[in-house]
Structure 1
Amino acid sequence: MARSRKARESDIDEIALALPRTVKVPGWGGLPSYQVSKKFFVGYRSPRPDAVDAETGQRLTDVLVFRVPDEGDKLALVQGDGPWFTTPHFDGYNAVLLRLAHLGTLTRGELAEVIEDAWRSQAPKTVVKKWEAERGGH
């Protein structure tokens, strides 16, 4: 059962590119970023002073950004038991962060749900409706 196994970095690519109109573009440091209809929905972010390793003080280089539909979804993820977090830089921006080092704490199914929600939040509504209808709703 692939949906319940631990998530892997390759799953991000596989899940995102399976969604309609998604393109993979080079993002920060040449690492992948994913867009739907030219709108970002998932990708790596550059190391910033607002996210540092607690032990070394070095800026984190393995942080991924995931768009979320709204502030409620953001709070639910950040305040939940999972690995999601945010920083003051993202106040007022509907996105959550995840360290690649913590990706394996999620199942593939959990990762797919967040990526699909990120895509839904940025994709044209007609494309979302068609995709959901083809899948039998959501």
Structure 2
Amino acid sequence: MTARKAKLADIGDIALGLPEVEEGTSWGRPAYVVRKKSFVHFREPRPDAVDPDTGERMDDVIIVTVADQDDKEALVASDGPWFTTPHFDGYNAVLVRERDLGKLTRRELEEVITDAWAARAPKRLVAKFFDEA
């Protein structure tokens, strides 16, 4: 049995399934937030993320929070679609393009989004969620 590939709609389904998550905005762009802190953010095209094939700014970049630099380095070094740019040096987040979500399984995406939520949500809320899971 093959695991289902992740889709764009999975991001909202997963994020909104976590405690106290709302759809919101961050820097004027769509985001998923927990207690006013974004953990998944749809990024505007920027000069630091250029498509190597077209030379155009990437217009489908998603920012996903990570707990720390070790998690960031592990995801970027993995075989997955995660990447970073110099703009994000020292910032606890990884990037992924919408077009590359299918390189992940839904389960892999769920794990990364849940970890992102846990990195931004209050510690008591995170503990309660994982105790009940």
Bin the TM-score by the shorter chain: over 0.9
Matched, 1:122 2:117: no
How many angstroms does 1:68 deviate by? Answer: 0.1
Q: Structure 1 counterpart of 2:4, which letter?
A: R
Which consecutive unaligned segments of at least 5 residues does structure 2 have?
A: none
User: What is the TM-score when the length of structure 1 is the normalising length?
Assistant: 0.92
Aligned to 2:76: 78
Q: In structure 1, the residue corresponding to 2:22 is in which secondary structure?
A: strand
State how far apart, in whole Å, the 1-side matches of 2:89 and 2:127 are.
Answer: 29
- Equivalent residue runs for 1:1-138 within 5 Å: 4-27=3-26, 32-135=30-133
How many angstroms does 1:27 deviate by? Answer: 4.7
Q: Is the 8 A contact 2:26 2:38 kept in 1?
A: no
CA deviations 1:92-119 (Å, max 9, x no partner) are 1000000001000000000000000000
Q: Is the 8 A contact 1:28 1:44 kept in 2?
A: no
Q: In structure 2, the residue corresponding to 1:4 is in which secondary structure?
A: coil
CA-atom RMSD in angstroms: 1.6
Q: Structure 1 counterpart of 2:118, which letter?
A: R
User: What is the TM-score when the length of structure 2 is the normalising length?
Assistant: 0.95
State how far apart, in whole Å, the 2-side matches of 1:29 and 1:107 are.
Answer: 29
CA deviations 1:63-120 (Å, max 9, x no partner) are 0000000000000000111100000000010000000010000000000000000000
